[in-house]
Structure 1
């Protein structure tokens, strides 16, 4: 005989018990259409009466559907075949255990877990038992990500399950799928089972990479800021890289998800790169708002030369500052009047608007000249109020002098003179010009003979001078000796001449 060992049934519903039996050959002739199947318990009490849905006993098919399942049916049952003849037999060797449930069993999901790469096809099955073939459950997916196919599948024990197959393409990260089963009672009411849930683990490369900055608003130069790089990735991000960008040049400045740095005007455009084992992604460029005070403020006037009254002139102010705020004033003695608040000021030339504040501007004719003995540097600046000038240069024992003179009420000229500079090549001298509205700087590069080179030259000149002196002295001595020899020869010549010889006594007597 064949029976499932157990079968679950919903209280108030029906149950179908698959069943088949065999009888000895000599008893088969006793099987007829009047035979009936009786289901009894261990005490031989009849608990279930077969209905018209009983299988064909003449074909040894005892499959039976029972209705009105209640708590009293929650036990083991055996089949007895009664044909009102010699064939009356109870199959005690096999029985079926009916388990009556108030709430249906939870559906089963197959496979129990899913891990796929983004873009791959996924197939997940939800199955629930069908206790009664005439009242199969309804299976519902949430969310519905793709196509659904439903089938009834026979199990090895001849019972049935309903299978709903969901086919979709993996796209959403960490998708939670839920399958629910709704069973019906014979009175028309419905019972919802517990839901089965599965998380579809979808792997994908880094994406949605972004940067957050703390503090989020503008910060002052040299203050501390914290930048955080985050990215959606599965598996998780393994490496982070930070870059500052200047045009087409990218410079690596960090290698962790968090970057601590000091605000700098040279580092205002930053992006991060997130990388997992499937790929990398760059964040968009984050522009930091760094505030720093004005510097290198300059003004230009168009036209640059004298203009006639009532003609138009344009003044342009530029400055290294963030934020940039430009204010234009005209001055009359100690009174300052605001006349503009943008970087460009367009005005009509007027005899009462001749004194305009503007930052220093060092004129292009400023220069340095000189040699190893003396260096002179001239720095000329224009501004209103008239600027001051300060010099920066190597501090040595060299004597230096600074003289300044105003060339006009807006122009100052300063001269730096250095006597015998004790510097090595090259030397940088800087002229700083500033007034109350700005500053300007001019750098001069000086190349001259270093003290070592001068000493080397003296070392060569001294031996040459000594040698020349010795040679000159030798020549003088030789000349003196020659003069002395000539004098001696001259004297000898005079003594030996006839006019100068004395007469002997004999000669005198002969006379």
Structure 2
């Protein structure tokens, strides 16, 4: 044991025998690099009171024994102390308060006080103080530690921070500063007081008090902070509703009631038209939204009041609905007019794409409108549109465009088709394309420039007549107008007929016979002489020519025939049958002279009558029909006779002298034919008298 320690123990033992007492903290926490103040007072035995004089000094001794501070070594001799410091107390007043500067880091030791004077007063005190240093201190304290006040109340907050170094007290700061600040300095602490009037804006606000310590040179500032939350009671204010985001129909949406109230009770309501329904409670409410269920509001209430938010309409998005087509103009669509189709649909967001379809084919035109200009029957059909947005698409129902038009392509069909036999029944059917369908039909028969209505049904049935040139057509009528067909005629077939105009002319020794026939198909003419077919040759020339579409004429010339030559027969043949006409080539014998005379007289009278008629026509019209073939006899008017099949006609011989008289200067003779078929039988002639079929003037 060292000598110093022995001295200390002896002194300590001596002091314990006396009535000595010291007052100071048992523990002092300080900051590294800062100062530490040790508040200290002491008592001595009263018999030593006179020894407390100016020679006394304060000594501080650590646990291990060395003197770390001697108050007499301050000023000019500070280096003699282990701990630099300053005795701030007055020993004569029994005050031993001491400040130690720039405490070392992580320091912890017990220190004991000793009073030592230059007289008999020398004493150690057994009660020491534990001094520690570190880089942290306790947080400041805020009083009151909790706060709940009504709006408008006056509030006082105190922030207290320890001040182990009185010469370097901490700086106290309120954040946020919401009121007036007052600073208070105490021996071992520092106090900041903030006064303010409470507002609903303060509710839930965090208030902090910060203590900033600034150690001595060469050390880092240290900051310590204390928080508290303000609770202000107030009625509801600024109540509103917010929701997470734009919602798709059928999805779940989170709603938040943003009412400012303390305390707050939340109630949720759904609005549907004029009906309001309580649907939930709590600050947050979750619900499935639709186009109908999308209007909500909340109510905030407490004992101080009640407030409702405005009605919030959620932006519920959905794919196109109720997609329909509107037609403009309405009513029947006439060919050649224009029509506009408008595609309408409800969607959120609005429709971004429209597509038009006719049947299964997509139309080229896009957009909400489809305009059809100058519509045609081919424009008829089923149309629909498709509306699309980012959430889906929908097709409209089909609408049918019915393009109406007056009858067109009106035509007549014939049953039976093709050639029709004379006298048979035919049915004509009027066919037309029209919309609406034709409801009225009218049949017309055209004969030259004359037209006659024949019927008013779709079908017309009648019997055809040969050689008729009548034409038929129909008119179909609907509400928009008529349509007229082309005219039709008939190819009427009938078996051959040899006309009564067939005749023979004898000129000198030459006989020229003409056979006129009609039939459809056009007939073929065959000559038979004495029962044998005769073909064209130089000796017996035969010439044929067509007479229109159904007639044929064949002329045969015979030379130097015997009087006993048998009859000449003309045969007319087609696919439907045949007809024959026999010419008697011999003179009838045994004719009575009276009959011949009467016949001659009647022939002369007929010729005279015809010549008079010709002269009248000549002077009125200035026209005379001349023959084109020399030596050939032609008629100036059609001969109307009623010929019968297999009939015989006597050859009428012209008077040779009369013929020679008319042939002047090589001119062809003017001739006429008188139809004697209309003449009555001559009275007084017996049965053997032949009737003259023709009288020729040559």
Question: Alpha carbons of 1:285 and 1:172: their partners in 2 closer, same or farther (altered >3 Å)?
Answer: farther
Q: CA deviation at 1:273?
A: 1.0
2:322 corresponds to 1:294: yes
**CA contact under 8 A between 2:257 and 2:266: conserved in structure 1?**
no
Question: Alpha carbons of 1:24 and 1:127: their partners in 2 closer, same or farther (altered >3 Å)?
Answer: same
**CA contact under 8 A between 1:179 and 1:197: conserved in structure 2?**
yes
Q: CA deviation at 1:137?
A: 2.5
- Structure with the greater relative contact order (CA < 8 A, sep ≥ 6): 1 or 2? 1
For residue 346 of structure 2, give the secondary structure of its aligned residue in structure 1: coil
**CA contact under 8 A between 2:148 and 2:230: conserved in structure 1?**
yes
Q: How many Å separate the matches in 1 of 2:97 and 2:354?
A: 101
Compute the TM-score of the two structures, normalised by the length of structure 2: 0.40
Question: Alpha carbons of 1:37 and 1:150: their partners in 2 closer, same or farther (altered >3 Å)?
Answer: farther
Question: Alpha carbons of 1:258 and 1:59: their partners in 2 closer, same or farther (altered >3 Å)?
Answer: closer
2:179 corresponds to 1:135: no
Q: CA deviation at 1:25?
A: 6.5
2:36 alignment counterpart: 15
- Return the match for 1:83 from 94, 113, 117: 117
2:346 alignment counterpart: 321
For residue 96 of structure 2, give the secondary structure of its aligned residue in structure 1: coil
For residue 58 of structure 1, give the secondary structure of its aligned residue in structure 2: helix
2:29 corresponds to 1:3: no
2:178 alignment counterpart: 146
Q: CA deviation at 1:103?
A: 1.7
For residue 176 of structure 2, give the secondary structure of its aligned residue in structure 1: coil
- Return the match for 2:280 from 227, 234, 255: 255
2:197 corresponds to 1:163: no
- Return the match for 1:244 from 250, 253, 271: 271
For residue 294 of structure 1, give the secondary structure of its aligned residue in structure 2: strand
Question: Alpha carbons of 1:11 and 1:80: their partners in 2 closer, same or farther (altered >3 Å)?
Answer: same
**CA contact under 8 A between 1:125 and 1:164: conserved in structure 2?**
yes
Q: CA deviation at 1:238?
A: 4.2
Question: Alpha carbons of 1:262 and 1:138: their partners in 2 closer, same or farther (altered >3 Å)?
Answer: closer
1:228 alignment counterpart: 254
For residue 289 of structure 1, give the secondary structure of its aligned residue in structure 2: strand
* Residue deviations 1:39-69 (CA, integer Å, cap 9, x gap): 3457875333234543223333332222343
**CA contact under 8 A between 1:14 and 1:65: conserved in structure 2?**
yes
**CA contact under 8 A between 1:269 and 1:285: conserved in structure 2?**
yes
Question: Alpha carbons of 1:297 and 1:242: their partners in 2 closer, same or farther (altered >3 Å)?
Answer: farther
**CA contact under 8 A between 2:208 and 2:226: conserved in structure 1?**
yes
Q: CA deviation at 1:84?
A: 2.0
2:74 corresponds to 1:54: no
Q: How many Å separate the matches in 1 of 2:361 and 2:165?
A: 103
Q: CA deviation at 1:161?
A: 0.6
RMSD: 5.1
Question: Alpha carbons of 1:103 and 1:148: their partners in 2 closer, same or farther (altered >3 Å)?
Answer: farther
Q: How many Å separate the matches in 2 of 1:21 and 1:334?
A: 113
- Return the match for 2:108 from 62, 65, 74: 74
- Asked which structure has the greater CA Rg, the reply is 2
For residue 92 of structure 2, give the secondary structure of its aligned residue in structure 1: helix
**CA contact under 8 A between 1:182 and 1:190: conserved in structure 2?**
no
2:56 alignment counterpart: 35
For residue 34 of structure 1, give the secondary structure of its aligned residue in structure 2: coil
Q: CA deviation at 1:352?
A: 7.0
For residue 7 of structure 1, give the secondary structure of its aligned residue in structure 2: strand
Q: How many Å separate the matches in 2 of 1:351 and 1:116?
A: 82
Q: How many Å separate the matches in 1 of 2:276 and 2:382?
A: 38
Question: Alpha carbons of 1:355 and 1:226: their partners in 2 closer, same or farther (altered >3 Å)?
Answer: same
2:313 alignment counterpart: 285
Question: Alpha carbons of 1:252 and 1:386: their partners in 2 closer, same or farther (altered >3 Å)?
Answer: farther
**CA contact under 8 A between 2:90 and 2:96: conserved in structure 1?**
yes
Bigger drift between 229-238 and 333-342 goes to 333-342
2:142 corresponds to 1:110: yes
2:130 corresponds to 1:98: yes
Q: CA deviation at 1:116?
A: 4.9
* Residue deviations 1:161-209 (CA, integer Å, cap 9, x gap): 1223455666366444444444344343125255434344566758553
Q: How many Å separate the matches in 2 of 1:193 and 1:315?
A: 80
**CA contact under 8 A between 2:214 and 2:221: conserved in structure 1?**
yes
Question: Alpha carbons of 1:97 and 1:275: their partners in 2 closer, same or farther (altered >3 Å)?
Answer: same
* Residue deviations 1:87-144 (CA, integer Å, cap 9, x gap): 444444xx45233122231222213334456776655443321112112233455x43
Question: Alpha carbons of 1:61 and 1:208: their partners in 2 closer, same or farther (altered >3 Å)?
Answer: farther
For residue 80 of structure 1, give the secondary structure of its aligned residue in structure 2: strand
**Unmatched 5+ stretches in structure 2:** 1-21, 75-85, 384-398, 404-434, 438-698
Q: CA deviation at 1:211?
A: 2.2
Q: How many Å separate the matches in 2 of 1:23 and 1:73?
A: 31
Compute the TM-score of the two structures, normalised by the length of structure 1: 0.51
Q: CA deviation at 1:212?
A: 3.1
Question: Alpha carbons of 1:353 and 1:212: their partners in 2 closer, same or farther (altered >3 Å)?
Answer: farther
